[in-house]
Amino acid sequence: MEQKLAVAGGIVVQASTCHDVIEAFLASLDVMPKSKDTYRAGLKNFMSFIKERGILRVMREDILAYKVHLIETCSSSTVSIYLSSVKGLYTYLESEQICPNVAAGIKGSKPTRGFRKDCLTPSQTNEVLRIETSTLEGKRNYALVNLLVRTGLRTIEIERANVEDMRQQGGECLLYIQGKGRDEKDAFVVLTEATLKPVRTYLRARGNTNASEPLFASISDRNSGGRLTTRSIRRIAKCAIVSAGYDSDRLTTHSLRHTAVTLSLLGGATIQEAQQFARHSSINTTAVYAHNIERVAKAPERRIDAMLDPENSHTIHMNHIRYKKYTIHKSITKEEQR
């Protein structure tokens, strides 16, 4: 006998109909396919929650209970995404006059302050890049991780990259990318010699490649020559991090992006330059990096140590010098903007 599930307020439909309604809702969204997949996963999770608890009539308090469940079991970003999928579904159901919107006004989870992932220091980054390159797999992995560290690319941007996306312009080699939420490859990163050389070495070792082939290809028996997925890219990067001795849940592929942005600022880039480099839609996101660096550079904790332990004031001063280049550059930039 086919199971029945309640959509809201006592309106009961067959499970198969629920599936059709959800797919109709997803079809109505003007978002990228991956975003639809994320919404689909969120709604699947919600329907499982309803089924496991034997809820026959979904009411507002049930969605609030689901929110509590998500907060207890998921990250804040997942909570927000999954709740958004549920709220979007009920907005759609109300617009189609299927049922009332019992999710209206329910707030998402408050975002975590700062970043959920850590970044690496320059010395740690160099250790991560000590990847054996005697094999084709090693050459590919080194070129890939090195690219992540030096350009701050997202995994989806690397997955979408083709060989033909590397182009010469103004004497520089650029890699054109299709960014997150974009329909075209309308952004680029500069491939410096230190970034480009390992990629060329890998492509030569790979053999004859067509321009339309993926920049990084799988070597597995099941997908040989096929495009590396974001999951495979994350696995390769995580393996390099762990192999360097840094096994932490807070160090992931996204940590390499954080590292790239942080190093660009420490190296003298302005916030505006770092924003363009990272392709942040809001400069406020980039400003968080700058704030964290400045917070360390001007740490009041060191001033307290200097007051309580004058004999070690020289060591305290040298720790401050580590970030001096960034703070001086930032001060000059502020003067130029006046």
Residues 144, 267 within the same domain: yes
Please check whether residue 324 lies inside any domain of the structure: yes
Chain centroid offset of residue 286 CA: 14
- Ramachandran region of residue 268, left (φ > 0), alpha (ψ -120 to 50) or beta? left
Looking up tokens 């490859």, which residue turns up? 185
- Name the domain count of the chain: 3
Please check whether residue 210 lies inside any domain of the structure: yes
Domain boundary among 277, 304, 324: 277
Residues 250, 196 within the same domain: yes
The DSSP string of 267-334 is TT--HHHHHHHHT-SSHHHHHHHHHHHHHHHT-HHHHHHHHH-GGGHHHHHHHHHTTHHHHHHHHHHH
pLDDT of residue 328: 41
Tokens of 72: 């207890």
Please check whether residue 266 lies inside any domain of the structure: yes
Q: Which domain holds residue 310?
A: 292-337
Task: Tally Cβ neighbours within 10 Å of residue 228.
Answer: 23
* Exposure b/e, 24-42, CB count within 10 A at least 16 = b: ebbeeeeeeeebbebbeeb
Residues 301, 164 within the same domain: no
Distance between CA atoms of residues 333 and 338, nearest Å: 9
Looking up tokens 């190093």, which residue turns up? 263
Please check whether residue 41 lies inside any domain of the structure: yes
Residues 34, 132 within the same domain: no
- Helix, strand or coil for residue 14? strand
pLDDT of residue 173: 96
Task: Tally Cβ neighbours within 10 Å of residue 246.
Answer: 17
pLDDT of residue 145: 97
pLDDT of residue 336: 44
Residues 166, 311 within the same domain: no
Residues 160, 301 within the same domain: no
Sequence letter at residue 249:
D
- What torsion do the CA atoms of 179, 73, 66, 13 make, to the nearest 10 degrees? 70
Residues 228, 264 within the same domain: yes
Residues 233, 316 within the same domain: no
CA-atom Rg of the chain in angstroms: 25
Could you give the C-alpha distances from 297 to 177, 288, 301, 319, 325, in angstroms and in order?
Answer: 34, 14, 11, 8, 10
**Does pTM surpass 0.75?**
no
CATH code of the domain covering residue 198? 1.10.443.10
Please check whether residue 66 lies inside any domain of the structure: yes
Residues 156, 75 within the same domain: no
Please check whether residue 259 lies inside any domain of the structure: yes
Residues 91, 126 within the same domain: no
Residue-wise pLDDT tens for the chain (338 aa)? 344 455 555 444 454 577 888 999 999 998 888 889 999 999 999 999 988 888 888 899 999 999 998 888 877 778 888 999 999 999 999 998 888 899 998 887 665 555 557 889 899 999 999 999 999 999 999 999 999 999 999 999 999 999 999 999 988 999 999 987 777 898 999 999 999 999 999 999 999 889 999 999 999 888 888 999 999 999 999 999 999 999 888 899 999 999 999 999 988 899 999 999 988 888 888 888 887 778 777 888 878 877 787 766 555 555 555 554 444 444 444 444 44
